[in-house]
Amino acid sequence: MTVRHNDRVWFAKVVLTVLVLIIPDFSIAQTVPPEPRAPEVPANSTVQFTGGISGWLLSQGQTKWSHDFSRLTYKDDSTNIVELSGKAAFSKRWFARGDFGYGMMGNGTLVDDDFSSANGPLESRTTSNITGNNLWYVNGDVGATLIHFPNERGTLGFFTGIQYWRQQHEASGVVQTVCNPVTPLCNPANTGRDLAPGQTAITNTTTWVSWRLGVEGNYRVTRKFSLEGKFAFKPVASLSNDDIHHLRQQPGATVPALQQDPSFRMTGTGIGADADMGVNYMVTSQFSINLGYRFWWNHVANGKVTVYPVGAAASSINLNEFQTYRHGVTLGVRYVF
């Protein structure tokens, strides 16, 4: 009986062991799930190409500049931008990429403040509606991936490149909102009136050419979802801005007529910064959807304003400040070839 009992105990132990090995649910210790790994992508020798299309949706932008006698602020709303992008990665380390974006403007406000003297009180303020025009940009970068996180969770790298960013605002109408009664710059009786209904008042074209130095990374949270971010500092941002005052083709009582190509030109060199952050979802091993937020900023603290009057030599005054920024939500798709 004792032998037969021991045989039964031994046989029960063997069966239990087999069940534990075959069926994980019988295991007392819980199995640790494997680390997320990046989906496999098609190999094309040592080069991998990625293409994308995205929208910078309902972006808001502002361009502001000032000198001792005037301050103009262009603020546009709900500007949608379409962006095409391409990237070539070499041996999973080096990469080159380019972006092109284009958008139309047609909503916003220009505020024009005038002063009779440097650091003097506000003498006149007018507003105009931004009724056009457009913006476009090109980014060209090269860089390298420095760190590959374990289990292909993500990467961290750096890049450098050039950014060309051009914006043009077209403002129509001139509504006088503030007029100092003692100033010769305006007539208090016109306060609240549109002095140029339906007429194009100012066309402002801002061009920035910047050198970018940045870091970027991505981190895979699950097999499908990953976080990604990119930050660039622009130690050199070169500005050229042309302002055409269409309503000053004839001299006024206190102001001269201005040339029309351009009326004013602002130049200077400053700094800037770009930031992109978002989430990425892998639909397949080659196709993904990304949602994010973007902010671009350029600033000049000291530059030059050149005035081009009709029938007289051009003259220059100090540019106290010039700033452009744009921000908004981004939504796009990418495909790995």
CA of residue 330 relative to chain centroid, distance: 9
CB atoms within 10 A of CB 134: 16
- The reported pLDDT for the residue numbered 184 is 82
The confidence band for 36, taking pLDDT boundaries of 50, 70 and 90, is low
Element at 133 (helix H, strand E): strand 122-148
Report the percent of the chain where pLDDT is more than 90: 76
- The reported pLDDT for the residue numbered 28 is 36
pLDDT at 297 over 80: yes
CB atoms within 10 A of CB 182: 9
- The reported pLDDT for the residue numbered 251 is 84
pLDDT in tens, 99-144: 999 999 889 999 999 998 877 889 999 999 999 889 999 999 999 9
Span 66-74, average pLDDT: 93
pLDDT at 146 over 50: yes
Closest CA to 36 of 277, 215, 227: 227
**At residue 111, what is the residue type?**
V
Closest CA to 305 of 253, 239, 254, 255: 239
Q: Report domain 47-336's class.
A: mainly beta
If one compares 73 and 118, the residue with the highest pLDDT of the two is 73
The confidence band for 255, taking pLDDT boundaries of 50, 70 and 90, is confident
- The reported pLDDT for the residue numbered 120 is 84
- The reported pLDDT for the residue numbered 227 is 98
Which tokens is 256 given? 């001269």
CA of residue 6 relative to chain centroid, distance: 77
The confidence band for 37, taking pLDDT boundaries of 50, 70 and 90, is low
Which tokens is 292 given? 């994010």
pLDDT in tens, 74-83: 999 889 999 9
The confidence band for 8, taking pLDDT boundaries of 50, 70 and 90, is low
Element at 291 (helix H, strand E): strand 287-300
* Residue 90: C-alpha distances to residues 32, 38, 45, 251 (Å): 34, 18, 9, 61
Return the residue matching tokens 């974006």. 101
Q: What are the domain boundaries of the chain?
A: 47-336
- The reported pLDDT for the residue numbered 20 is 38
**At residue 130, what is the residue type?**
I
Which tokens is 335 given? 């495909």
pLDDT in tens, 178-230: 999 887 888 999 999 999 999 999 999 999 999 999 999 999 999 999 999 99
- The reported pLDDT for the residue numbered 33 is 42
Contact, 78 vs 108, CB < 8 A? no
Average pLDDT, the chain: 88
Span 242-255, average pLDDT: 88
Span 30-49, average pLDDT: 57
- The reported pLDDT for the residue numbered 183 is 79
Contact, 46 vs 90, CB < 8 A? yes
Hey, is 7 helix, strand or coil?
helix
Pick the range with the lowest mean pLDDT from 11-25, 146-160, 174-188: 11-25
pLDDT in tens, 328-337: 999 999 999 9
Instruction: Specify which residues 184 forms β-bridges with.
Output: none
Residue 127 CA to residue 73 CA, distance in Å, equals 10
Contact, 52 vs 85, CB < 8 A? yes
- The reported pLDDT for the residue numbered 29 is 38
Closest CA to 337 of 78, 51, 13, 74: 51
Cis peptide before 204 (omega within 30 of 0): no
If 0-12 CB within 10 Å is exposed, 13-18 middle and 19+ buried, where does residue 103 land? buried
Report the percent of the chain where pLDDT is more than 70: 86
If one compares 238 and 10, the residue with the highest pLDDT of the two is 238
pTM of the full structure = 0.85
pLDDT at 45 over 70: no
